[in-house]
A and B are shown apart, each in its own frame.
Chain A
């Protein structure tokens, strides 16, 4: 089945550090990937849509200069949290859809738990 891999699974770092999270589709190509954020005891919230070869589309309220997204190939999207602060601590999850059929389900990575001290 379709596999999405996320790395790292956990990051603990000091305030002001920039953190890069990778999302890879292992056995399929994905022109579009999605980044979600989940705070404790809450549901997933879509942050942005990552488009291969073009700029990402951000949801309202998500700062594009703080959450840099790069989708340089059909199997890799990266999310960089720049100058991270404690309020950025969260569970970040990516997803991708294999194939071109419109009703194909999304497949999710296992998430990255980011803790900013």
Chain B
């Protein structure tokens, strides 16, 4: 699976949008972009995924660049409960379902 690069940490003010970037410059055509988050001492929580088009659900929006080499996860109105480590993962859907986790971005939402 392609490697991803994320900033190790970010801060965001409560109520503002949190924009978390991810670089995946070696992504291939078969690879989806997945975002998970892990709140302290819990298992990872699925947020959203996409292949080429931008995606939106009740939790977040995923913006994928046209060349697919990077993406941004947007939490439109961050709350204190959004403080977590956010993982961007690219996975080849032909290579099985296992996920390879990188270091992620530790998002701190501040009041």
A-side interface residues toward B, CB under 8 Å? 4, 6, 32, 34, 36, 43-46, 49, 91, 93, 95, 97, 102-111, 113
Contacts and interface: CB of A to CB of B under 8 A. Distances in A.
Interface of B is mostly: loop
Contacts of B46: 105-108
Interface residues of B, number: 24
Residue of A36, A106, A110 ringed by the most chain B CB atoms within 10 A: A106
A91 B43 CA distance: 9
A105 B103 CA distance: 19
Given A34-B97, A46-B100, A111-B41, 20 more contacts: A4-B43, A6-B43, A43-B101, A44-B38, A44-B99, A46-B98, A46-B99, A49-B96, A95-B44, A95-B99, A97-B97, A103-B93, A105-B34, A105-B46, A105-B49, A106-B97, A106-B99, A108-B44, A108-B46, A111-B43
Contacts of B32: 103
Interface of B: 32, 34, 36, 38, 41-46, 49, 51, 87, 93-94, 96-104
Contacts, number: 56
A54 to B, nearest CB: 14
B97 A108 contact: no
A110 B42 contact: yes
Given A43-B104, A103-B49, A111 B42 contact: yes
B105 to A, nearest CB: 12
28 contacts: A32-B97, A34-B97, A34-B99, A36-B101, A43-B87, A43-B101, A43-B104, A44-B38, A44-B44, A44-B99, A45-B101, A46-B98, A46-B100, A49-B98, A91-B41, A93-B44, A95-B99, A97-B97, A102-B93, A102-B94, A103-B32, A103-B93, A105-B46, A105-B49, A106-B99, A107-B46, A108-B43, A109-B43
